[in-house]
Amino acid sequence: MASSTTSTGTAGTVEPDVRAHIVGVADQLFYARGIQSVGMDEIRTGASVSLKKLYAAFPGKEQLIAAVLSSRHDLWERGVHGAVDAADTPRAKLLAMYDFLESWFGDDTFRGCGFINAFGELGATSPAVAEIARAHKDSFQHFVQRLTTDAVADPALAEELAAQLALLAEGAQTTAAIAGTTAPAAHARRAAETLIDAATH
């Protein structure tokens, strides 16, 4: 997606920092209350921009949703990759994913996975949102598989372990959002330890 969009009849483009501010406001509103319950006028008010500028940056709500999810994907990648990169062994890197989840679940603003939430709301009616959610989940699956390949010599076993560990992470996110506790991350981590040890011994 381009960093700025020119609207019909508007000279120039919307400044990247203004566009990023709109995305940030929309993300907070969508994540806290749901995408369908938040209208463009409320986003305009929250971002303190004119309706003209809002629509110059995002001609429609679907484009804004896509930008929000793209930003959320980048935030997720920075968080989970940072946690993994700080670990020093293949096993520790795999388990670091669950430590990151536990930290995230403890945030007062945590409301579950934004992509699962978006898919639940719009997946059946918006092919674009469904595709973005699938691409995000595929990206995470491939990331986990790269980590398991470093830990497990057998490619087939590494692929199977990656699928299991990613499923644990996904389930922990949904369970933590509903339960309102960080405990699912710890449960998932202990289950992951069992699976990793079984695959590497």
In the chain, domain spans: 12-59, 66-200
Cβ 58 vs Cβ 5: under 8 Å: yes
pLDDT band for position 8 (50/70/90)? very low
Residue of 160, 132, 157, 121 lying closest to 70 (CA atoms) = 132
Q: How far apart are the C-alpha atoms of 106 and 131, rounded to whole Å? A: 29
At 130 the pLDDT is 98
Residue 3 confidence (pLDDT): 34
Could you tell me which CATH class the domain 12-59 is placed in? mainly alpha
Average of per-residue pLDDT across 88-104: 98
Lowest mean pLDDT, pick from 10-24, 74-88, 176-190: 10-24
Mean pLDDT of 186-200: 97
Does the domain at 66-200 match CATH 3.40.50.261? Answer given as: no
pLDDT in tens, 152-170: 999 999 999 999 999 999 9
Q: pLDDT tens, 51-60? A: 999 999 999 9
Give Cβ neighbours of residue 142 (< 8 Å, ≥ 6 apart): none
Burial 85-99 (b: 16+ CB within 10 A, else e): eebeebbebbbbbbb
Q: Are 136 and 116 in contact (CB under 8 A)?
A: no
> What mean pLDDT is predicted for residues 120-142?
97
Give the DSSP letter of residue 31.
H
Q: Do domains 12-59 and 66-200 have the same CATH topology?
A: no
